[in-house]
């Protein structure tokens, strides 16, 4: 009987993650929340964001947050969520804390594991949204719960802002800043969905990037039109050929080199540890951003080109209507990542100038741009303290990211925003938006501790000497 019982229990014991036995109460709470959040299929079209928001609302209520400070704002099939942690007001205006609840679509048949089950395996958490960015949703919620349990009274209000469509239209953030500014207004914002630490392939920390600027996302359509006709009677004027000629002009064009305080500081810091000609170009550019040779080297490096200029690239193509007819129209989509402070329409006009008057250039949907956020000494000091609490001695440098997040909406309405995610990862482990998305287990729990230090430093009582 004993052997039978052991044989029954042994597989169960093996299935329990080894890390779980060593978790403290705060880590266990966070892991439980993380597991629930990954299970919600908050992809576009699934209408699961409001369901997930209600789960989180229950967690906040159970921790002692009143209903009056928990807001779920419906928006079509999705929603935004705002939770306010009341402070005593001695520290000034609130701090906003950001993450998004939606994820990029994951097809289970393509994954090696169920993307909507949190799986801990070989030192990693697997699942859609583990990196982008349900880990951020989790650490903010878990820290609010922990701080409330500890009786922490912040010197200023802390406001969690969870959006519901960052991966698609970003309408929920647009709605918040335009129609619910009173709920989210803040002196500055901290974004879990940007910034973070880099680990070398040997697992040792290399650098921490504090994001102070991000490029705007804008797509344009290039369209050529023609009367068409029968394919047996071809003419020189052909919508597809004319579009192809226009695309070659876009491919050949480079936007002017640009820089700001963030990019100069970033290149200076990264150049000190980057080897070879790229490292030399970083150092040369930081010393003299008019150095055309250094800018050319950076432009040839895929990971760096977006830091020195606006970039535009063809991403979609369609044209014609029948295989035996001359095309009446052809259209290409050009996706641009616009340098901070550059007007969207100026990019459209530049594209128009390159392709000529016969090609229509139109903006697809909406686009928004913003200036870089100033380097606040209090934010830099608090982030540095929090980073060093989990990764002692790691260099902290400002960075500009080529991607775009909801943070651009805060910056656009005058709320400085800082990407200060606490995850440290290897570049080879970055599978956000892709198959088998994962984060290191250690990095998740470090991120949890990092945010506790960051929040209590920025919104805690002054330290007496």
pLDDT per residue as tens, the chain (465 positions): 333 333 333 333 333 444 445 899 999 999 999 999 999 999 999 999 999 999 999 999 999 999 999 999 999 999 999 999 999 999 999 999 999 999 999 999 999 999 999 999 999 999 999 999 999 999 999 999 999 999 999 999 999 999 999 999 999 999 999 999 999 999 999 999 999 999 999 999 999 999 999 999 999 999 999 999 999 999 999 999 999 999 999 999 999 999 999 999 999 988 988 889 999 999 999 999 999 999 999 999 988 988 999 999 999 999 999 999 999 999 999 999 999 999 999 999 999 999 999 999 999 998 999 999 999 999 999 999 999 999 999 999 999 998 889 999 999 999 999 999 999 999 999 999 999 999 999 999 999 999 999 999 999 987 654
Per CATH, the number for 18-194+405-459 is 3.40.630.10
| Phi, psi (degrees; rounded to nearest 5) at 212 | -115, -5
DSSP assigned state of 212: E
Phi, psi of 222 (to 5 degrees): -105, 120
Query: Which distant-in-sequence residues (6+ apart) come within 8 Å of 151 by Cβ?
Result: none
Residue 3 has what pLDDT? 36
Cβ contacts of residue 24 below 8 Å, gap of 6+? none
In the chain, ranges of CATH 3.30.70.360 domains: 216-268+304-364
For strand 205-214 and strand 396-401, is the pairing parallel, antiparallel, or unpaired?
parallel
Instruction: Write out the H or E segment, with its range, that includes residue 354.
Output: helix 344-355
Structure tokens at 434: 């892709």
Assigned token pair, 247: 């695309």
Does domain 216-268+304-364 fall under CATH 3.40.50.300? My reply is no
Contact 135, 34 (CB under 8 A): yes
CATH 3.40.630.10 domain range(s) in the chain: 18-194+405-459
Q: Is 12 exposed, middle or buried (0-12, 13-18, 19+ CB in 10 A)?
A: exposed
Rounded Cα distance, 280 and 282, in Å: 5
Q: CA–CA separation, 123 vs 306, rounded Å?
A: 32
| Cβ(155)–Cβ(461) below 8 Å | yes
pLDDT for position 9: 35
Q: Report helix, strand or coil for 337.
A: strand
Output the CA–CA distances (angstroms, integers) from residue 44 to 33, 104, 169, 321, in the order listed. Answer: 21, 8, 10, 30
Handedness of CA 74, 80, 81, 86 (dihedral sign): negative
Using the structure block, give the residue that is written with the tokens 């002196």. 187
> What local confidence, expressed as pLDDT, does residue 65 receive?
98
Strand 196-199, strand 424-426: pairing: parallel
Whole-angstrom CA distances from 91 to 95, 246, 410, 412, 451 are: 10, 55, 21, 24, 18
* pLDDT for the residue 463: 61
CA dist., res. 381 & res. 59, Å (int): 31
Query: Distance (Å, rounded) from C-alpha 104 to C-alpha 114?
Result: 15
| pTM: predicted TM-score of the whole model, two decimal places | 0.88
For 42, phi then psi, to 5°, come to: -85, 40
Angstrom distance (rounded) from CA 177 to CA 368: 13
**Of the candidates 133, 121, 150, 135, which has an alpha carbon nearest to the alpha carbon of residue 63?**
150
Question: Phi first, then psi: what are they for 424, rounded to 5°?
Answer: -105, 130
385 neighbors 449 (Cβ within 8 angstroms): no
């Amino acid at each position: 009987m004993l052997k039978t019982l052991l044989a029954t229990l042994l597989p169960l014991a093996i299935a329990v993650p080894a890390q779980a036995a060593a978790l403290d109460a705060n880590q266990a709470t966070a892991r439980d929340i993380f597991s629930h959040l990954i299970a919600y299929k908050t992809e576009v079209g699934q209408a699961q964001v409001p369901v997930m928001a209600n789960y989180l609302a229950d967690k906040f209520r159970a921790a002692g947050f009143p209903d009056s400070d928990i807001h779920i704002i419906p928006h079509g099939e999705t929603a935004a969520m705002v939770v306010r942690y009341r402070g005593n007001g001695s520290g000034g205006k609130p701090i906003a804390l950001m993450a998004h609840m939606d994820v990029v679509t994951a097809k289970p048949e393509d994954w090696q594991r169920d993307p909507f089950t949190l799986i801990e395996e070989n030192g990693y958490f697997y699942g859609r949204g583990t990196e982008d960015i349900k880990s951020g949703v989790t650490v903010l919620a878990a820290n609010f719960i922990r701080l409330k349990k500890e009786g922490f009274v912040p010197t200023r209000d802390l406001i969690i802002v969870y959006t519901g469509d960052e991966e698609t239209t970003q309408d929920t953030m647009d709605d918040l800043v335009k129609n619910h500014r009173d709920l989210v207004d803040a002196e500055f914002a901290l974004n879990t969905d940007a910034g973070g630490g880099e680990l070398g392939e040997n697992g040792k920390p290399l650098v921490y990037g504090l994001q102070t600027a991000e490029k705007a996302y804008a797509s344009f359509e290039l369209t050529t039109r023609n009367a068409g006709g029968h394919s047996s009677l071809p003419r020189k004027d052909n919508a597809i050929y004319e579009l192809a000629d226009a695309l070659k002009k876009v491919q050949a064009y480079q936007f002017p080199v640009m820089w700001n305080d963030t990019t100069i500081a970033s290149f200076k810091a990264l150049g000190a540890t980057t080897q070879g000609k790229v490292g030399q170009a970083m150092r040369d550019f930081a010393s003299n951003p008019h150095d055309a040779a250094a800018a050319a080297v950076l432009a040839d490096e895929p990971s760096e080109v977006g830091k020195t200029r606006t970039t535009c690239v063809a991403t979609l193509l369609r044209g014609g209507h029948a295989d035996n007819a001359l095309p009446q129209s052809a259209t290409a989509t050009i996706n641009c990542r616009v340098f901070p402070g550059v007007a969207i329409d100026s990019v459209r006009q530049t594209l128009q100038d390159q392709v000529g008057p016969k090609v229509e250039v139109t903006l697809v949907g909406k686009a928004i741009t913003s200036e870089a956020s100033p380097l606040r000494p209090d934010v830099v000091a608090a982030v540095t303290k929090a980073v060093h609490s989990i990764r002692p001695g790691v260099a902290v440098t400002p960075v500009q990211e080529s991607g775009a997040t909801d943070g651009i909406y805060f910056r656009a309405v005058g709320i400085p925003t800082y990407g200060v995610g606490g995850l440290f990862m290897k570049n080879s482990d970055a599978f956000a938006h892709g198959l088998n998305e994962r984060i290191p287990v250690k990095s998740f729990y470090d991120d949890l501790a990092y945010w506790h230090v960051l929040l209590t430093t920025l919104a805690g009582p002054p330290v007496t000497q």
